Amino acid sequence: MVATGEVVNKSGRDFNSMVFKLVVYIKTIPIGSTNVIINGFCNNQMRRFEKQIEELVFHKIVKDITHWEMYPESWY
């Protein structure tokens, strides 16, 4: 499965690198995750991402996915 989207840096700071954790759920059960790494992430900058989640086969689970979450995990 390929996850795509965009993220905006509204932190007021520039970052050399940020790592986000992207988690896909069926109801409350996490079924897959990946890290999204964005290098050179400046304040007020929008960046697009595309990331393969290896363990998920989209056509087999697409109708069951209820939501996903993405949150910052580390930065410098």
**Residues 38-60 pLDDT 10s:** 999 999 999 999 999 888 887 77
pLDDT at 58: 74
pLDDT at 70: 97
Sequence-separated contacts (24+) of 29-36 with Cβ below 8 Å: 31/56, 31/61, 31/65, 32/1, 32/56, 34/3, 35/73, 36/7, 36/70
pLDDT at 65: 92
pLDDT at 63 over 80: yes
Cα–Cα dist 23/66, whole Å: 11
**Which residue did the predictor score with more confidence, 69 or 60?**
69
In this prediction the pTM is 0.86
pLDDT at 34 over 80: yes
